[in-house]
Amino acid sequence: MASLFRKLPIKHSSNFIKRNRTACHKKKVQNYLIVRPTSDDYECILSLMRRAYYPEEPTTSSLLFKPTVVFEDHTIQSLCEGYSLIARCKYNGDILGACINETTHCWDPDVKDSLACKVNDVKSRQLLHFYAYMQRVPDLWRKYGVQKIFELAYLFVRKDERGKGIAQNLARDSRILAADCGFPLVRLDATSHYSFGKKQKEIFARRERFHLLHLASSSDLHELLNRAGASEIF
């Protein structure tokens, strides 16, 4: 019986080995972990945000906006809520990307408008009015009958670490965190075709309660800025 089995040919053995080798090559080992930031990480996050978010995010880049104390204080407040996530390198502890998440309430647009009236910088003032307008118009709190909304406010990745799925994993884990914390609704304002396409596929695949706002082009942004009273920027 043993000699009989030795004579049986193993069909497609070479193809089997090739497929296994290909599968092994496709499996990429992630060099980062998705974790919650600590207070010691806040300054590093702000520094990365100045380099990787403000100069390239369509809303702020079209205005040539540079972050002011008002916006960075707001970012710190969002981080202190404890819902944000970062991608931390396994080997040296560097922050490769971040998803700054926050909770929004029905009175937040009025708070932003009130704060804008106290700001001296023109672009900061008009941008605050714009953000207040974008929150107020959909009126998601009344539409969905919720008091608080989990919002993916800022999502950015270090330039030399892009293309590795970091942003997608940060957004996915933020969505999971929102569900674990009991939030019935998650919001993301997609200001580029890339972020809109990525989240649209994920939403339709999972059929989740997810509100996605898409600004299709710079003309859409300019029109909304004018509606919000930000025409003096241009």
Chain segment 111-130, per-residue pLDDT in tens: 999 999 999 999 999 899 99
Distance CA 223, CA 155 (A): 24
Mean predicted lDDT score pLDDT of the chain: 79
Residue 39 above 90 pLDDT? yes
Cα–Cα nearest to 65, from 145, 6, 131: 131
Residue 201: pLDDT band by 50, 70, 90 thresholds?
very low
Q: Could you tell me the two tokens for 109?
A: 């647009």
- What is the CATH architecture of 33-233? 3-Layer(aba) Sandwich (3.40)
Question: For residue 149, which amino acid is it?
Answer: I
Which pTM value belongs to this model?
0.75
Q: Give the separation between CA 114 and CA 120, rounded to whole angstroms.
A: 13
**Do β-strands 186-190 and 149-157 pair in parallel, antiparallel, or remain unpaired?**
parallel
Task: List the Cα angle 109/74/147 in 5-degree steps.
Answer: 40
Residue 27: is its pLDDT beyond 70?
Answer: no
How much of the chain exceeds pLDDT 90, in percent?
56
pLDDT range class, residue 108, cuts 50, 70, 90: very high
Q: Residue 226: in which H helix or E strand, if any?
A: helix 218-227
Per-residue buried b or exposed e for 40-71, using 16+ beta carbons within 10 Å of the residue's own CB? ebbeebbebbeebbbeebbbbeebebebbebb
> Could you state, in order of their start, the residue ranges of all structural domains in the chain?
33-233
Residue type, 212: L
pLDDT exceeding 70 applies to what percent of the chain? 70
pLDDT tens per residue, range 146-175: 999 999 999 999 999 999 999 999 999 999
